[in-house]
Amino acid sequence: MNPQIDWKNLGFEYLDTGCHIRADFSAGKWSEPRVCSGNQLTIPIAATCLHYGQACFEGLKVFRRADGTTACFRPQANADRLASSARRLCMMAPPADIFVEAVAKLVQANQRYIPPFGAGASFYVRPLLIGTSPIIGVHESDDYIFIVLGMPVGPYYKNGLFPVRGLVQEHYDRAAPNGVGHVKAAGNYAAALIGDKEARARGFDVSLYLDSATHEFVDEFTTSNFIGITRDRRYVTPDSTSVLPSVTNNSLQRIAADLGFTVERRPVRWDELATFSEIGACGTAAVITPVYSLTRGSETLTFGDDNAAGPVLTSLYEEIQAIQYGKKEDRYGWIHLLDEVSDVR
């Protein structure tokens, strides 16, 4: 019954586990989340998610921990962010208890896909909310489907906590100041595909976006927030209306403060980047990715070593992972334990 998975060599890739969770909003109420088999969905061809972008999603992780328990990292924060995305896109979000119950049911139904402790892997959970009413004029949907799928994943970048090279996007913006950059709208990622594709073709690993109004301030990377560390122990991260409030960044700020860093959330000028000793990209998928260089036009700034993460980002990474994998006490109340139940499918 056990899938033949090489846990230690997993990448960050889609895997069909044969089931997902689904809840429906229709006639003004949500159904109970239920386990559905397969990986297909049937929706009207005029669904608002397809034509008008009424689609938003989340990403969170489940960990098999040192003591054998299985736990999800801060699901309430992701439920709250999905609700915020839904509000901005005029959608109906599932209440947080349905969100968390759906995650728990997904994990229950996929026990054999939860990587063992010690493999350096985790189970990535992807909640998705879409408007499904067939409507041809531009208008919000009456009906919504909430899906939660998941799969075991390894490190986002093959080399794990290893410095990458970033390209500053000059010809494409990701989010407008009063637009939807602060929520997890599916369309934000479509907007960034072309810049990322061109960056990859030029040998860069990540793209950094500046504020779209002036290009003077740092916003964030395509799928992660920006962190700058200074030699005088400051943790600096942009305060911008077009940055997604990252759960990882929020958690790292708490940890950094407890490690004695001064945490600064404020506009970060491109001009001041040279003052940072370490730069990181942070998010659920990769946790922390050290950024060795940032290229903007003909200028390239470098930070630390090109073959090892800096000491501060390394200690932040180790600290948050120790909490997630249960090697260290969760002083913050971030760990949501999931019942150990066998595969119920």
Ligand X SMILES: Cc1ncc(COP(=O)(O)O)c(C=O)c1O
Q: Is 125 in the site for ligand X (CB under 6 A)?
A: no
| 283 forms part of the interface with ligand X (CB under 6 A) | yes
Q: Per DSSP, what are the bridge partners of residue 235?
A: 229, 263
For ligand X, the closer of residues 283 and 310 by Cβ is: 283
Stretch that binds ligand X, among 9-17, 43-51, 111-119, 217-225 (CB under 6 A): 217-225
Identified binder of ligand X from the candidate list 70, 133, 223, 253, rule CB under 6 A:
223
* Residue length of the chain: 345
DSSP state of 29: E
Contact status: 85 vs ligand X (CB under 6 A): no
Given the rule CB under 6 A, which of 85-93, 99-107, 158-166, 218-226 is the region that contacts ligand X? 218-226
- When the beta carbons of 85 and 133 are compared against ligand X, the nearer one is 85
Helices (H), 27-95: 48-51, 75-88
Phi/psi at 226 (5° precision) = -100, 135
Binding part of the chain for ligand X, among 115-123, 232-240, 243-251, 295-303 by CB under 6 A, reads 243-251
Count residues contacting ligand X (CB under 6 A)?
A: 12
**Please, what is the minimum distance in Å from the beta carbon of residue 226 to ligand X?**
9
- Count of other CB atoms within 10 angstroms of residue 28: 7
Question: Which has the closest alpha carbon to 9: 149, 121, 110, 84?
Answer: 121
d(CA 244, CA 170): 20
* Residue 247 binds ligand X, judged by CB under 6 A: yes
Nearer to ligand X, 44 or 160 (CB): 160
Task: Compare residues 210 and 244 and give the one whose CB is closer to ligand X.
Answer: 244
Report, in Å, the least distance between residue 134 CB and ligand X. Answer: 29
The CB density around residue 17, as the number of other CB atoms within 10 Å, is: 18
Is 284 a residue that touches ligand X (CB under 6 A)?
yes
Backbone CA torsion sign across 123, 74, 245, 141: positive
Closest CA to 4 of 15, 19, 20: 15
Q: Where does this chain touch ligand X (CB under 6 A) — which range of 163-171, 223-231, 265-273, 311-319?
A: 223-231
What is the torsional sign of CA 230, 232, 237, 240? negative
Among 102, 218, 244, 323, binds ligand X (CB under 6 A): 244
- Say whether residue 59 binds ligand X (CB under 6 A): yes
169 is a site residue for ligand X (CB under 6 A): no
Check binding of 240 to ligand X (CB under 6 A).
Answer: no
Cα–Cα distances in angstroms (integers) from residue 339 to residues 71, 107, 180, 254, 296, in the given order: 9, 9, 36, 27, 48
Q: Which residues contact ligand X (rule: CB under 6 A)?
A: 59, 220, 223-225, 244, 246-249, 283-284
